[in-house]
Copies of this chain bind each other. A is one copy, B any other.
Amino acid sequence: MQTYIVTGCAGFIGSTLVDKLLSQGQHVIGIDNFSTGRHRFLEGALKNSYFTLMEGDLLDFDSLKHFFSGGEFVFHLAANADVRFGTEHPQKDLEQNTIATFNVLEAMRANDIKKIAFSSTGSIYGEPDIFPTPEDAPSPIQTSLYGATKLACEGLIQAYCEGFDFQSWIFRFVSILGERYTHGHVFDFYKQLKSDSTQLKVLGNGKQRKSYLYIQDCIDAMQIAIEKATDKINVLNLGVDGYSEVNDSVKWISEELGVNPKLEYAGGERGWIGDSPFIFLDTKKIRSLGWVPKHSIRDGVVKTVKFLKNNGWVMESRK
The residues of A with any CB-CB pair to B shorter than 8 Å are 86-87, 90-91, 94, 98-99, 102, 105-106, 126, 135-145, 147-149, 151-152, 154-156, 158-160, 162-164, 233, 235, 273-274
- B138 close to A158 (CB less than 8 A): no
With A90-B102, A90-B106, A155-B149 as known contacts, state yes or no: A162 contacts B139, CB within 8 Å. Answer: no
- B106 close to A162 (CB less than 8 A): no
Query: Which B residues are in CB contact (< 8 Å) with A94?
Result: 98-99, 102, 156
Q: How far is the CA of A292 from the CA of B274 in the complex (A)?
A: 36
| Contact pick for A139, options B86, B99, B102, B140, CB 8 Å | B140
Query: Which B residues are in CB contact (< 8 Å) with A140?
Result: 139
Nearest chain B residue, comparing its CB with the CB of A158: B142
- B143 close to A158 (CB less than 8 A): yes
Query: Which B residues are in CB contact (< 8 Å) with A142?
Result: 154-156, 158-159, 162
Query: Which B residues are in CB contact (< 8 Å) with A154?
Result: 142
5 cross-chain pairs, A with B, having the tightest CB-CB distances, nearest first: A152-B152, A148-B155, A136-B138, A148-B159, A142-B158
Q: How far is the CA of A158 from the CA of B126 in the complex (A)?
A: 10
- B138 close to A139 (CB less than 8 A): yes
Q: How far is the CB of A290 from chain B (nearest CB, A)?
A: 24
Query: Which B residues are in CB contact (< 8 Å) with A145?
Result: 156, 159, 163
